[in-house]
Amino acid sequence: MDYRIEKDTMGEMKVPNDKYWAAQTQRSVENFPIGNEKMPKEVIEGFAYLKKACAITNNNLKRLDDTKCLAITEACDEVLKGKLEGNFPLVVWQTGSGTQSNMNMNEVVANRATEILGKDFRVEKLVHPNDDVNKGQSSNDTYPTAMRISFVMELQKQLIPAIKSLKQTFEQKSQEFKNIVKIGRTHLQDATPLTLGQEMSGYADMLNKALMQVDDALKYLVELAIGGTAVGTGLNSHPQFSPMVCEVLNDLTKTEYKFKSHPNKFHALTSHDAEVFLSGALNALASNLMKIANDIRWLASGPRCGIGELNIPENEPGSSIMPGKVNPTQSEAMTMVAVQVMGNHTTVSVAASQGNFELNVFKPVIAYNLLQSINLLSGTMHAFNDKCAIGIQANKENINRYLNDSLMLVTALNPYIGYENAAKIAKTAHKNGTTLKEEAVALGLLTNEEFEKYVKPEEMTYPKE
Under 8 Å CB-to-CB from 123, ≥6 apart: which residues? Answer: none
Instruction: State the average pLDDT over residues 129-142.
Output: 98
Task: Check residue 106 and give its pLDDT.
Answer: 98
Measured distance CA(25)–CA(15) in Å, rounded: 9
- The full set of domain ranges for the chain reads 3-135, 142-230+264-395, 407-459
Q: Within 13 Å, how many C-alpha atoms sit on residue 463's CB side?
A: 1
**434 annotated ligand binder:** no
- How many of the other CB atoms lie within 10 Å of CB of 122? 14
Is 138 one of the annotated binding-site residues? Answer: yes
Active-site residue identified among 237, 319, 349, 373? 319
Q: 11 a known binding residue?
A: no
Is residue 345 annotated as a catalytic residue, yes or no?
no
Mean pLDDT computed over 421-434: 97
- Any binding-site annotation on 320? yes
Q: Which pLDDT belongs to residue 346?
A: 98
Residues 269, 358 contacting (CB under 8 angstroms): yes
Residues 246-297 pLDDT 10s: 999 999 999 999 999 999 999 999 999 999 999 999 999 999 999 999 999 9
Judge whether 130 is annotated as a binding position: yes
pLDDT, position 465: 82
CA-nearest of 104, 96, 90, 92 to 29 is 90
Q: Is 346 annotated as a binding residue?
A: no
Q: pLDDT band at 464, cuts 50/70/90?
A: confident
Half-sphere exposure of 106 (CA within 13 A, CB side): 25
- pLDDT-derived band at 438 (thresholds 50, 70, 90) equals very high
Confidence of residue 119 (pLDDT cuts 50, 70, 90): very high
140 is in an annotated binding site: yes
Query: What Å distances lie between residue 118 and 4, 123, 311, 461, CA to CA?
Result: 19, 12, 65, 76
Determine which one of 165, 174, 187, 272 is catalytic: 187
Task: Write phi, then psi, for 137 (nearest 5 degrees).
Answer: -135, 165
| 319 noted as active-site residue | yes
Where does the pLDDT of residue 170 fall: very low under 50, low under 70, confident under 90, or very high at 90 and above? very high
Are 360 and 272 a contacting pair, CB within 8 Å?
yes
Per-residue pLDDT tens digits for 48-62: 999 999 999 999 999
142-230+264-395 is a CATH 1.20.200.10 domain? yes
Quote the pTM value: 0.96
- pLDDT surpasses 90 at 369: yes
Indicate the SS3 state at residue 358: coil
- To the question of whether residue 139 is assigned a binding role by annotation, the answer is yes
Q: Which residues touch 452 (CB under 8 Å, ≥6 apart)?
A: 437
Q: What secondary structure letter does DSSP report for 28? A: H
Q: Is 101 annotated as a binding residue?
A: no
Q: Quick one: pLDDT band at residue 1, thresholds 50, 70, 90?
A: confident
Question: Kindly report the CA angle at 195 between 193 and 197, in degrees rounded to 5?
Answer: 155
Average pLDDT over residues 116-142: 98
pLDDT at 355: 87
Interatomic CA distance for residues 258 and 272, integer angstroms: 19
3-135 is classed in which CATH architecture?
Orthogonal Bundle (1.10)
393 - beta bridge partners?
311
Question: 421 among the known binding-site residues?
Answer: no
Share of the chain above pLDDT 70, in %: 100
Residue 326 labelled as part of a binding site: yes
CATH superfamily for domain 407-459: Fumarase/aspartase (C-terminal domain) (1.10.40.30)
